Each structure stands twice: as structure tokens, then as C-alpha cells.
Structure 1
Amino acid sequence: MSAVKLEGWRERIRKELDNTVDFWLKYSHDTTHGGFFTCIGRDGKVYDELKYVWLQGRQVWMYCRLYRTMERFHKPEILEAAKAGGAFLRKFARVSGGSGGPWKCAFCLTRDGKALKVQRTVFSECFYIMAMDELSRVTGDKDMQSRSYTNHSRSILSSLEAEQMMEQVIYWVRVDSSSLGRPQLPGEVPTNSMAVPMMLLCLVQQLTEGRGQEAAQKYGDLASWCVQQILQHIQRDGTAILENVSLEGAELPGCQGRLQNPGHALEAGWFLLQVSGEQQDEELQRTAINKFVELPYQDGWDKEHGGLFYFLDVDGHCPTQLEWNMKLWWPHCEALIAFLMAYNQTKKPQLLERFSQVYEYTFSHFPDAKSGEWFGYLTQEGKVALDFKGGPFKGFFHVPRCLYMCERMLDDLLANSD
């Protein structure tokens, strides 16, 4: 692939990232109550004022990562928005676990911060940890847990407090989930859902990045556990990645056991590639590419209309998820990261060819040239099904994270090209 082609991709990606940041800076900030609006229509109009904690945490994290690592985003308005978002989260997201139980994070808040819904999962807490740890990095906050504040817009959770919540999440996942309010029902089969070890591995990478050997050792056992849990999802003699398996790594019966989620598998693939790169583990790198990048692409790519299916059934049955054949923004984002990272590590031309194919589909279908940002939900044929730019699950995260990571990888490739 020529340097001219790489340069063309980088310039388009850079432009899309700038436009995406501008869109969310312009339309999503709640200057009255703090935090961010995420239910935003095509033209930027807020159509629902509910605030979803996953997306609040993701937006704080994304602003901080851009501010900290990309010079053109080192702007006061981005830092102040991140601080305000962090203060809103710290003040309102944590809710009592009841009966002396541990604090949880709400899933959804009203505009002024009243808890509306709590999920019996760990994901709100996980995105809270990501946000606060990254925010502590840009503010230099190391010991603020011992200070008092009168202005909540400057009340920023320390990295130590983020680590304390991380310990609670680890306890819920690896020791006892009962305090999540999820009793074991008679017919329930304990399940290893790939989302959980993936999320914990993401948090390990967040909490250890650039913090030396001590941090790596602290979370080393957890990282190894996460990798092994993810690898259990290689099923059918290595020919498929299944979303749910038993705790022992066996295939589960029924629709749940046959479910494939190509986007999740691709995301797991680049998580594993990051680990293999850090550890110089060539076997893990091969497994990540062959099983978690190539397989979900081969199974998930729509050969008639292009794009990645959202869900599949490994035996070819119609998935029970009604949206199974739609083309969503985030699996394509994960595919772009995965193939470019795989190529960056191996320089195998076929991986860059895959990236090119995903790139062409993604950039010809999802970006909105008129109003900015990306559509998130397309029909199987590639037509816009839902034209909003943000909702309960689509916020300022997958699109900018993909563009940010791809721009940086293309920078590296161009800097080292012949």
C-alpha cells in the first residue's frame, strides 16, 4: 500500500475526528446542571434530557484522552468540559447499595442528577472508573481524596479512589455477585459472557498504562485471568467465536450458546493485540489475529450488501435479536482499529486490505456530511434506519476512539514507511 493511500486515509480520519469533537462540544454540554446530553438528533437538537452513566463516563474519558495525548485538542474548553462531567458523575452517579452494601453507580439519571435506573451489572462502575482515572491523569490529581471542595465543578475523583472502586468490581466479578442483586435462579446456568472479561481487561490497561512495574504487578493476575476468559470463547474446534460460554469454557445450549457478535469479537481482538504487544507474546498475537480478527470478519461480513452484521447464529438459524441484520456504527469502528493494529504489528498486506474494505464501507455509509458526526443504525442494505447522532447507547466514544486510534497508528506507519 502506498504512502499516498495511507496519507489519504489519515487526512479523512483526522477531518472526521475534528468534526466529531466539534459536534459534541457544540450540542452536548449541559451548562445548567452539568454533565452531557447524549440523546441528540441529526441536527444537534436534544430530544431527551436523560443522562446515561455509561455515556457520561465515556465522554469524560474521551475528552481527557484527546486533551492529554493530542496537541490540537489541548484546549481549555475540552478540559473544563471533562472536569464538569467528572464532577457531575462524582456527585450523582454513585447510589447506595442498601442494607450497608457497597455503593453502585446508576445506569440512568435525570437531567439534574436524580437516579432513575440501576442495572444489576458492573458496567456503569467500569466506565466511571475509566473516566475518573483518565481525568486524574490530566489534572495531576494524586491525593485529592483527602481534600474538601466547595465548588463541585472542580471536585475530581483521584486515581486512588478509582482503584478502590476497581477492587469492588473485581470482587463482584470474581468472588461474589450477590450484592449486585442477582440471585442464582434454579434454571440459570452460570455463564462467561465475553463482555465482562473484556471490560476488566480494558480497565487493567487503563489503570496500568505508564505507571510502571508496580502497577503491572498489582493487576497482572487479573490481566491473565481476563485473557484466559476471553480465549474460552474460541469454540467449534477453533472455527468460531461465541459470545457466551459456560464457566468451564464449554458451549451452552440454545440461542444463547450459538450467539455470535462480530463487533465484540473484533474489539476483543485488538484488546488481545495490545496485550500481546506489551508482553511480546507472538502466540497470543497469532491467536488474536486468526481467531478474533479474521474469523468474525469472515463470518460477519455481508457479502451481498457489505458491512458487518450485528448478531449471527453459528448454526445459521435466524438470531432472536430483532436487529441482528442491521449495520451498526460501533462494530465497524472496532474492525477498523483491529485490522489497522494487526497490520501495524505484522505488516501483512492482507490485513491492510481488510482495513481498506471496512474503511470504504464505513466512510461511505455512516458519516453525515450535512450535519456532522455519524449515523449509528443502518438497514441491512446500508440505508439510514435511525437518524439521531446520540441515544441511550451511542455517545461520544466509539466514533472518536476509533478515529483517534487509527490516526495515531497511521502516524506511526507513515513515520516509519520507506
Structure 2
Amino acid sequence: MSAVLKMEECREHVRTQLDTVVDFWLKYSHDTVHGGFFTCIGRDGTVYDELKYVWLQGRQVWMYCRLYRTMDRFHKPEILEAAKAGGEFLRKFARVSTSSGQWKCAFCLTRDGKAVKIQRTIFSECFYIMAMDELSRTTGDKDMQLEAEQMMEQLIYWVRVDSSGLGRPQLPGDVATNSMAIPMMLLCLVQQLTEGRGQEVVQKYRELGRWCVQQILQHMQRDGTAILENVSLDGQELPGCQGRLQNPGHALEAGWFLIQYSAEWGDDDLQRTAIDKFVELPYQNGWDKEHGGLFYFLDVDGHCPTQLEWSMKLWWPHCEALIAFLMAYSQTKKPELLDRFSQVYEYTFSHFPDAKSGEWFGYLTQEGKVALDFKGGPFKGFFHVPRCLYMCERILDDLLANKD
């Protein structure tokens, strides 16, 4: 079979998978009484907990809007109405005023919107921003875009000026760290807020984008042989388990963020670094050569990681790997990158999708058996799987349109 025919077959499979996943969440996740979405959903679609996690609410609004806005077959009234209802729920309940007078997003809400828990991180706010910006693009509501930009200013202040508004006490033994998740998410938000907008908006976030890239690049350590999840604020390796931690999925996700950024700004050196160090390296170090699949966590010196789930195979690192390798191939046309994509593709689609009930399992044992059979929980919602399938379908469309 020719490479083009294989690619066409792959695209049709990805397309079918995306349709199945969207159908699952349209059928089971909508709360038609209080608004928003259920995310704790069992294998067969049963809601097993009514708590609503704000970051997953924001992700689902973003995903619905992106599908509705950019793919003709998802330009359906039920998807738009669900996104608008999810956005209304977020605007009404997600933001909580703190003692300092700043807005903070709750991490978790009751079914009817009462705040249950607030985390001392920025991630609920990040996905609130993504939801509001994408919903504003879909509906034309400029107030939502303004809300997104205002919340973004708050995040920038917390990350780069004063983090006390997050509520974390300054303890004497706690060393300040550069966790890769922070600049990654801010770079993602820069790309979200500037996409398709004028030069004034692009320039407003230009310096922040550069800063995020430099912060991510600090995680290349050991003479470029490893990507470490945590480093010091000046880019040095930290002692102990925290400093030795590798998260292959995060590195791969950072890799395709950097590939996107390098394409936008025509930075060939950054593209090479992104592919060689943030895509190839975590794959080489993180792929389980005995059972297949990507490990969740690793210790760079070969010690057993202290995270109990370190050897499990999770849905989202494989989603990031699929995007990263296909995007890298689309930019370079290097056949070895397509070979890597094919290997991840074969493992992913032979292990995670549930042919009986739809959607994907999220948590497998090291050997590849289903460990937890729910389809959604506090961390798995309508995001990584559909985003991966959506992006892979679009990249494959472009490759096949230019197959000569």
C-alpha cells in the first residue's frame, strides 16, 4: 500500500474516531438543568459524580467552539448551544473574589455552581481564558474577549510579578522552581489570544511569547540529553526527585507548541530544537521497549519515580505524541518522523478506544490492560482526545491536499 493510501486510511479512521468521541460527550455530559457539563462519566455514559471541575468546563467550551467554528460537519446548533450554556455557567459561577480583591477561578464546583475547592495554581484560569476567547470568536461577543484579556493580565502578574494572590505561603524550605507547565500554558494562551488577530494584539503578547519559549528551553538539561520537568528559576538542575523528574507527555506537548511558534515566526533553529529535543528525546527516553506505549513519569538517573502511577500508560501523553510527530513530519517531511507517528498510532488505537461503548479509556497498566474504565473524571474530560483527533485530521488534510 502506498504512503498516500495509508495516510488516507489513517485520516478516515481519525475522522470516525472524532465523530464517535463527540457523539459520546453530546449524549452523556450535558447538564440541562443547571448548565455546564458532567465530567465524571463511567464507561457506559453513567454520571457517577456531579461535581464540576472548572478547568474541564473551560476545555469543553473551547473544544466545542473550535469544532463548530472550523469544521463544517460540526457546525450544528446543538454544539453551539452547549458551548454557550457552558460559557454562561462559567461566567456565572467559576470566578471567586479573593481577600486581596482579585478574581480567582475555583477548581471544583457543585452541580448548581457553588465553589467547593480553590487551587493555588493558575490552571483553572488558563482554561477560563481559552473558553472565553474561543467563545467570543464563535459568537462575536466582544465582552467575552475582554474578559479573557483581563484574566490574562492577572495571570501574567501572578507568574511574573507577585504570586501571593495565588494564596501559597512562602515557606523557608520551599525553593522557587520553573515548572514547565507554567510557560507551556502561557505560550498556549498567547497563541490562542493572537491567532488571526491584528498586529496590535500580536505585538502586545510578543515579549511574553519570547519569555515563555526561553523558559521552556531551560528544561533542556544534561548537555541536551534530557528534558526535565522542573528546574531552578535560573535554569539549573534541582536536587532530589523533583529535579530528576521527566514527564514525556509534557515534553512532547511542549514540543508541538514550540513547532507551532517556530512556524509562526520563521525560526528554523527553534524548529530543529523543538523536534530533536522536545519530540524525539522524550519519545526515545519514554517509550516502553518491552510493552510499548509511553511511561507517565521517569527518573533521569534510572531511580524508581516516587509517583505511584509512573509506569502506567495514560491517554493524554499518547495524544500529544500523535500531534507532535505528525506536525513535525508536516513541517520537515522527514520519513523517520512519520515512522514514529505510525508506531504511536498503532499502540494508541489498539489500546485506548472503547469499541463497545465509545470514547477512550484513559488509564492502562504498564502491560496495556485497562486499569480504570471510566471515560471522564477530575482530570480526563472532553479535551485531549478530541483535540488530538481534530488536529491530526486537519494536518492529514493538508498533507493529502499537497501530496505531490
**2:316 aligned partner, one-letter code:** W
Amino acid at match of 1:384: V
Question: What's the CA shift for 1:399?
Answer: 0.1
Question: CA offsets per residue over residues 171-190 of structure 1, 9 Å max, x none?
Answer: 00000001111122100111
Q: Which moved more, 1:19-28 or 1:177-186?
A: 177-186
Q: Deviations over 1:319-351 (max 9, x none)?
A: 000000000000000000000000000000000
Distance 2:146 2:115 in 1: 25
Please name the residue that 1:150 is paired with: none
In structure 2, the partner of 1:134 is 134
**What SS is found at the alignment partner of 1:318?**
coil
Matching residue's letter, 1:243:
E
Counterpart residue type for residue 295 of structure 1 = L
Secondary structure, counterpart of 2:302 in structure 1: coil
Specify the alignment match of 2:157 in structure 1: 171
Q: How far off its partner does 1:225 sit?
A: 0.3
1:73 counterpart letter in structure 2: F
Deviations for 1:138-169, whole angstroms, at most 9, x for unmatched residues?
00112xx4xxxxxxxxxxxx101110010000
Match of 1:211 among 189, 192, 197: 197
Superposition pairs of residues 15-414 of structure 1, within 5 angstroms: 15-98=16-99, 100-142=100-142, 145=143, 158-414=144-400
Shift of 1:136: 0.2
Return the letter of the residue paired with 2:45. G
Give CA-to-partner distance per residue, 1:249-272, whole Å, 9 cap, x none. Answer: 000000000000000000000000
User: Does the 8 Å contact 1:377/1:386 carry over to 2?
Assistant: yes
Cα deviation 1:47-89 (Å, max 9, x = unaligned): 0000000100000000000000000000000000000000000
Shift of 1:214: 1.1
Q: TM-score, normalised by structure 1?
A: 0.96
Cα distance in 2 between the residues matched to 1:48 and 1:36:
11
Instruction: Show structure 1 runs of 4+ deviating over 4 A.
Output: none
The letter for the 2-side match of 1:57 is G
CA distance in 1, matches of 2:280, 2:170: 36
Which secondary structure does the structure 2 equivalent of 1:192 belong to? Answer: strand
- Measured against aligned partners, the alpha-carbon deviations of 1:113-150 in whole angstroms (never above 9, x if no partner) come to 000000001110000000000000000112xx4xxxxx
Instruction: Give the match's secondary structure for 2:397.
Output: helix
1:278 aligned counterpart, secondary structure: helix
Secondary structure class of the residue paired with 2:48: strand
Distance, in Å, in 2 between the alignment partners of 1:101 and 1:172 is 14
Query: What code does the residue aligned with 1:114 have?
Result: K
Tell me the equivalent position of 2:6.
Answer: 5
State the 1:300 CA deviation.
Answer: 0.2
Displacement of 1:242: 0.0
Cα distance in structure 1, aligned partners of 2:245 and 2:101:
34
For residues 240 and 26 of structure 1, the distance between their equivalents in structure 2, rounded to whole angstroms, comes to: 43
Once the two structures are TM-superposed, the CA of residue 101 in structure 1 deviates from its matched residue by 2.4
Q: Percent identity?
A: 86
Give the aligned CA root-mean-square deviation in angstroms.
Answer: 0.6
Question: Helix, strand or coil: the match of 2:347?
Answer: helix
- Equivalent-residue separation in structure 1 for 2:165 and 2:83 (angstroms): 31
Q: Could you tell me how far apart the structure 1 residues matched to 2:229 and 2:86 are?
A: 32
In the alignment, the residues of structure 2 paired with residue 183 and residue 393 of structure 1 have an alpha-carbon distance, to the nearest angstrom, of 26
Distance in 1 separating the partners of 2:97 and 2:3? 56
Letter in 1 for 2:129: I
Deviation at residue 213 of structure 1 after TM alignment: 1.2
Give the whole-Å Cα distance in 1 for the aligned partners of 2:229 and 2:394. Answer: 30
The 2-side partners of 1:212 and 1:72 are apart by 28
* Alpha-carbon separation, structure 2, partners of 1:126 and 1:9: 32
Gaps in structure 1 of 5+ consecutive residues: 146-157
The answer to whether the 8 Å contact 1:101/1:179 transfers is: no
Q: What is the CA-CA distance between 1:2 and the residue it aligns to?
A: 1.2
In structure 2, give the amino acid aligned to 1:121.
Answer: T
Preserved contact between residue 133 and residue 207 of structure 1 (Cα < 8 Å): yes
CA distance in 2, matches of 1:374, 1:161: 33
